[in-house]
Structure 1
């Protein structure tokens, strides 16, 4: 026992001597004594508390930069009371762990009004499993992969998340192949033969076959699969970006702008034009309003965001008074939500775009693929449209958002940043839209707390940019007036119908599920 205790004591002494030697070398390399002497001379007439404050600031600059030490995922509720994912980031700052920030991401699931009970129950189970899987990913593998990485290195964080997600996709692919192999080994039960055609009565003439053959209906396009738990990737990427901004005492939109413009810091930032839903329509809507999904209004570019919203609130009051009447009773329907009727209307969509694309904006909504698929193919022209509605969901990282907006800018396409149906009160979406420099932002109606929070964040950023003199104006927001368009058409010898063009500020949202 004595020899063993003596050995431990010697080992401890050597470790202390080694630490002292490392500290002396650190002080010598960073010239700490001279810095302390200068600091004490400069603070000779200050109070002791001030001296200690200056000393703390001095040593804090010499400390190791913050690194991620813990990532926590939780199952929380969104604006509709449905489960979604919250992510918290902890960083080691001056040898102590500290909770920096948290974000809540919206799920990709849509809310179906006329879904059958069994369909609604299946979607509820699927949503719950997706969130639970995301929480498990965040609290285990993702936390281990990101531990020790500086949150300021967004590119490295996103690459780690991308590699992790690709491994999960490969695991899911191998699992499905194994299940398919097991199914192929089972003996297939032969299907019964088709029934014989009905016998024709004696003396009955055979019906005349129709010479006009109907055009076959194409099968619906398969729904793009979403890997369960993928929201963990997008949520963690956003949380790290927000953490980096808070540690640098910067707003999130500025850090996103620096990611988009790494060469030089932008001196001017623009506020995207609002796309506000004034009326949401459906089968229970009065009159002919059931022919459209929603009525969207865009304020004039010359107005501030706050002025535009105040004007739209007045318009909304008059609209509500005009259409205020008891809605017709809802009829029971046995059909579930059919989201594939427009997926085979490619010819009609092309015809609409060719006829109206030069006179108004035709924006692709749910017809557009996910951001990861668009980046993988590098093709954003299918379906034909003036632009796309992009959303931060699933495995979309901050690097992906920067890349897709750069791709849209290079193709002269319009980027509309939108929110999902089941959104949360997290207002990071507004910072992302401003930092990425998109043309429009679609936040929904002027109601419900999770939407109003985002509008208030937009007002705060606009006011902050005005105070800093950093509010810019996007020249692409300026539209031609009717008289200017008519004059151009007349001088060019265009057809008479061009004398009454459609307002170029109108937006048609193409949707495969409309």
Structure 2
């Protein structure tokens, strides 16, 4: 025992001596004694506490960079009281663990206002499984995979997360194949199906003259594509990637949007940043509304590009206040005729409003014109002009309008239109209301011919935007091209396995293909405002956050105001010269027959008018 203890003691002494030698060599190479002497001389007349502070700052520069030591996943509630994922990151800083930041990511699930109980229960169970699996991934494997990594190495972190996710995808695929093989072995072999009898020959209609052409049968609509599968737990990837980026920004004492901008512009940092233009939801008249109108899931307000973010927000708040007043004001009683009926053939519907999960009012309307005339009248009362001070966008949510039993779109209750008739309807709508500069998801993504038709007809007058009709970011990057319906704008969201590197890559792809990037929020949002920093850092053209109500959405608008103030104070707020509505697509311009009429409409769009904003702002923007 004595010899063993003596050997162990000698080994420990040698290790200490080696460490001392390494330390002395490090100090010699970095000339630490001389620099320390200079530091002590510089602090000779300082108080002891100040000297210790200078010494602490000096030695902290020689310390090992912060590394990730713990990642914790938790289940929290989003703005609708539904479960979602929160990720917290701790780092080892100067040998001590320290909590750095936390982020929350929203789920990808759509919110259905009036879903049947069976569907609601199924989605609730699926959402719970999604979040709990993500929490398990974070707390077990991911925290082990990223332990000891410098959070500033975002690309390395995202690569590790991608490899981990690819492994999970492969495991899920193998599990499904095993389950399928077990089911096939247990099922008896069914006899081949009997072919159906041939259809009877077409009978000649009574009274039909020989040689008369029969009525053309409409082409059957393409069936709905299967829903893009989402691997349970995938939201852990996007949440951890965002948390690491925010951790790096916190450690560098810089805002998250600058960190994202540095990832986007690796070679040279952009001297200025431009804020995205607002897309604010004002009304909802979609399938969930009590009225007959189904087409307008969102009527969206877009302030004039010449206004600041604060000015645009104030204008939209005034419009929203007037909408609330109109809804709260009861309709005057109708004058009765001699027969005791109202003077009109059809009574005016009572406008009843409730708050949507998107932060805007759900209004009871029956026709397409009613919500547009409402906003037009409010703008007139405020001294605003549609098409100059304020522009509009319509989220048509085409995938929600299709009646698959009849193969047509149900624009209003009882009014069905085929895909070709929908194109004519949109063209008529834009010609009648030129202040509408964007149509979001006018069709299902399966109706590719109609996307081509509406793009050729309206692509030079308004943005044709693919939202739900587009594939996920990961699928788009997998193909290496924007394999979306023919459009000139795309809504991107930070959900599921989308990493920060993926966001940078997809926005670069959008920029290279001359498309417009719209950064959108999900339907069920949390109070985490990080996506605003993502939108600013990535340099997208528009940001779509929902309405100016509900705390989880207002928090993001407040963050946008804060970023605007910071950029103004630092002198890095870029001009809005590029943020103007112009006829940007050459292919669409060539397809437009009346170019002179289009240019005349463009001049009307930017003609300055009196409003409750300074006229100089509008005039300067019009000149730009």
- Tell me which interval the TM-score lies in, with the shorter structure as reference length: 0.7 to 0.9
Please tell me whether residue 417 in structure 1 is matched to residue 519 in structure 2.
yes
1:365 to 456, 467, 485: 467
1:219–1:306 Cα change, 3 Å: same
Q: How does 1:56-205 map to 2 (within 5 A)?
A: 56-188=56-188, 190=190
Partner Cα distance (1:248, 1:328) in 2: 46
Partner Cα distance (2:600, 2:185) in 1: 69
Equivalent residue of 2:69, what SS? strand
Instruction: Tell me the alpha carbon deviations over residues 89-147 of structure 1, each in whole angstroms, 9 at most, x when there is no partner.
Output: 11111011111111001111111223222221111111111111111111111111111
1:465 to 563, 567, 570: 567
2:222 to 218, 238, 242: 218
Please tell me whether residue 246 in structure 1 is matched to residue 277 in structure 2.
no
* Aligned length in residues: 486
Instruction: Tell me the alpha carbon deviations over residues 44-103 of structure 1, each in whole angstroms, 9 at most, x when there is no partner.
Output: 111111111110111011111111111111111111111111111111110111111110
Partner Cα distance (1:418, 1:112) in 2: 18
Whether the aligned pair in 1 keeps the contact of 2:264 and 2:538 (CA below 8 Å) is yes
Q: How does 1:301-312 map to 2 (within 5 A)?
A: 301-312=305-316
Whether the aligned pair in 2 keeps the contact of 1:68 and 1:146 (CA below 8 Å) is yes
Partner Cα distance (1:443, 1:260) in 2: 22
Instruction: Tell me the alpha carbon deviations over residues 284-309 of structure 1, each in whole angstroms, 9 at most, x when there is no partner.
Output: 64766543111100111111111111
Counterpart position of 1:377: 479
Equivalent residue of 1:104, what SS? strand
Counterpart position of 1:390: 492
1:432 to 499, 516, 534: 534
Deviation, structure 1 residue 266: 1.3
Please tell me whether residue 313 in structure 1 is matched to residue 338 in structure 2.
no
Counterpart position of 1:352: 454
Partner Cα distance (1:338, 1:252) in 2: 35
Equivalent residue of 1:441, what SS? strand
> Which residues of structure 2 form unaligned runs of 5+?
206-213, 329-349, 355-362, 364-397, 403-443, 584-588, 607-624
Whether the aligned pair in 2 keeps the contact of 1:286 and 1:328 (CA below 8 Å) is no
When the two structures are superposed, what TM-score results if normalisation uses the length of structure 2?
A: 0.72
Counterpart position of 2:547: 445
Question: Aligned-residue CA RMSD in angstroms?
Answer: 3.1
1:495–1:37 Cα change, 3 Å: closer
Please tell me whether residue 19 in structure 1 is matched to residue 52 in structure 2.
no
Equivalent residue of 2:325, what SS? helix
Equivalent residue of 1:442, what SS? strand
> Which residues of structure 1 form unaligned runs of 5+?
198-205, 331-336, 482-487, 506-514
Whether the aligned pair in 2 keeps the contact of 1:362 and 1:387 (CA below 8 Å) is yes
Q: How does 1:26-37 map to 2 (within 5 A)?
A: 26-37=26-37
Counterpart position of 1:200: none
1:369–1:502 Cα change, 3 Å: farther
Deviation, structure 1 residue 23: 2.0
Instruction: Tell me which moved more, 7-16 or 227-236.
Output: 7-16
Whether the aligned pair in 2 keeps the contact of 1:389 and 1:416 (CA below 8 Å) is yes
Whether the aligned pair in 1 keeps the contact of 2:276 and 2:541 (CA below 8 Å) is yes
Instruction: Tell me which moved more, 46-55 or 375-384.
Output: 375-384
Instruction: Tell me the alpha carbon deviations over residues 248-301 of structure 1, each in whole angstroms, 9 at most, x when there is no partner.
Output: 111110011111111112111011000000112234647665431111001111
1:413–1:338 Cα change, 3 Å: closer
Instruction: Tell me which moved more, 134-143 or 211-220.
Output: 211-220
1:497–1:310 Cα change, 3 Å: closer
Instruction: Tell me the alpha carbon deviations over residues 370-426 of structure 1, each in whole angstroms, 9 at most, x when there is no partner.
Output: 001111112215201111000000111111101111111111100000100111101
Whether the aligned pair in 2 keeps the contact of 1:86 and 1:105 (CA below 8 Å) is yes
Counterpart position of 2:412: none
Whether the aligned pair in 1 keeps the contact of 2:306 and 2:576 (CA below 8 Å) is no
Partner Cα distance (1:192, 1:156) in 2: 54
Whether the aligned pair in 2 keeps the contact of 1:110 and 1:421 (CA below 8 Å) is yes
Counterpart position of 2:238: 234
- Select the structure with the greater relative contact order (CA < 8 A; seq sep ≥ 6): 1
1:276 to 271, 274, 280: 280
Partner Cα distance (1:227, 1:465) in 2: 39
1:96–1:286 Cα change, 3 Å: same
Moved over 6 A (4+): 191-197, 501-505
Deviation, structure 1 residue 500: 5.0
Equivalent residue of 2:24, what SS? helix
Equivalent residue of 1:274, what SS? strand
Deviation, structure 1 residue 215: 2.9
Partner Cα distance (1:504, 1:161) in 2: 47
1:478–1:149 Cα change, 3 Å: same
Instruction: Tell me which moved more, 16-25 or 441-450.
Output: 16-25
Equivalent residue of 1:85, what SS? strand
Counterpart position of 2:424: none
Whether the aligned pair in 2 keeps the contact of 1:360 and 1:504 (CA below 8 Å) is no
Please tell me whether residue 408 in structure 1 is matched to residue 433 in structure 2.
no
1:442–1:135 Cα change, 3 Å: same
Whether the aligned pair in 1 keeps the contact of 2:461 and 2:598 (CA below 8 Å) is no
Deviation, structure 1 residue 177: 1.1
